[in-house]
Amino acid sequence: MHSPIIEKLKKEIESLGADTKTEHIGIVRAVGDGIVEIDGLVGASMAEMVVFDEASQLSVGDAVRREGALYGVILNLEEDTVKAIILGEASRVQEGMHVRGTGKLLSVPVGDAVIGRIVNTLGEPVDGKGPIAADTSYPVEREAYGVIDRQSVNEPLHTGIKAIDVLIPIGRGQRELIIGDRGTGKTAVAIDAILNQMNEPVDKRPLCIYVAIGQKESKTARVAGLLAERGAMEYTTIVTAPASAPAAYQFLAPYAGVAMAEYFMDKGRDVLIIYDDLSKQAVAYRQLSLLLRRPPGREAYPGDIFYLHSRLLERAAKLSKEKGGGSITALPIIETQDGDISAYIPTNVISITDGQMFLEADLFNKGTRPAINVGISVSRVGGAAQTKAMKKVAGRIKLDLAQFRELEAFMQFSQDLDADTKKRIDTGRRLVATLNQNKYAPIPFEVQVSVMYAATRGHFDSYPPERIQDIESRFTAFMLLEGKDVLAAIKKDRDIKEEVEAKLKSAIEAFVSANK
């Protein structure tokens, strides 16, 4: 700290009225590949924000980001130096440049102002709709709530996808992994979950945050366009760190997204956050760690790669009533190679989450949509995250489907099947057809219940499996027109009471007799 340049800079800061005891001034010793080595930052802390050169005259308490200011985040504390990642154009940082420690952890703007906006990792708007007037900011790295501050997951978060809401239900405050090969429909499942929140009552509707990590900007633009077209951007924020962004942005983007979510959870609101996808975040973190000279481990990932995702996903919670009862539901996405869910990163994230939906390429190629493998997909919250109505219709579906998959495999090697086996196979095919669903077409909870009631109680048994999807769409239209009162009662009570069940049965029978 005895460099004449630093002393001169301290005098300049003193002349501006700033306190040099809290101002930490350093000099860039080396820079390369988005990593900067800094001398002289005495008292620097992990994850502290530093500001380079042109912004060095801002006071410590000034949270305003000047246009053109260049920031970094300290990730390595070494004996004589610190190493930081540059948040922005690395070419703007040169050896000998002054660096100032802000004494603040990296924070992002939070609040109602970010709803409906598309922002980058730093919370800066990239949608061309002007600046975000946020009242406050939250640090991107924050300790998760403890066990005492939480309650068990007991309220469903409907995705609008029958295969999920019936078989592997998701609860508010849960962490459910979406895993599968490239092009199997993982993002489509997540987007359906966002779109379906339109079907929830306004006072119970979760806010949604979609974090796009390492994605093509064209894909993120398509997602934003779809959400805007359907009216879902009214309750959604998109945080984007595209493939063209520096690795530092891709590494920090999920933490920025969950910081925005925590603000609303602290206010007692429910939030759904989607990380698309954490495989790319892990690769970005590996790249940064190797550049920071951290020791590589398995597959060249650093030793703390598990902690990278655990400290992120642990921030999803259902808070106790004393803490306001808010929740964050996390749907992380992981991409596998050739269906290998036993690889390093997939197994890490599976062990952190409360269940997984495995989307299988073979099922996708057979025309099953969504291509969820019921056998190895699981929700560790289960029935606790289902309404009474859904529990009544779900019944033995999972077991029947698993048995059907076994029989289907066996059927390939056998020509002569007895009547009972044929019946089971036909039942399984009808169930598969009933659970099939087009993407971006989420179905309200009460409609799902009525369809599954008809399918599982044998009312559709007179139809061949190939006609089921057509019959289902006709039945849905019939119920929305003729059975409005039945659907309204199921939606209100979240149960199928005796008198409602009688009306539902008579409506189904009337439909079947008219559609023979």
Catalytic residue list:
380
CB 186 within 8 A of CB 180: yes
The packing angle between helices 468-482 and 484-493, to 10°, is 90
* Whole-number Å distance between alpha carbons of 442 and 440: 6
| Nearest partner of 214 among 234, 188, 239, judged by Cα | 239
Phi, psi of 327 (to 5 degrees): -150, 155
Using CA atoms in the order 86, 242, 269, 165, what is the torsion angle rounded to 10 degrees?
A: -140
The whole-angstrom separation of Cα 364 and Cα 180 is 11
Cα distance between residue 186 and residue 357, in whole Å: 9
Helix (H, G, I), strand (E, B) or coil at 3: coil
Structure letter (DSSP) for residue 180: E
CA distance 288 to 320: 37
What residues contact residue 479 under an 8 Å CB cut-off, 6+ apart?
A: 447, 450, 486, 487, 507, 511
Name 161's Cβ contacts closer than 8 Å, sequence gap at least 6: 189, 192, 193, 196, 370, 437, 442, 443
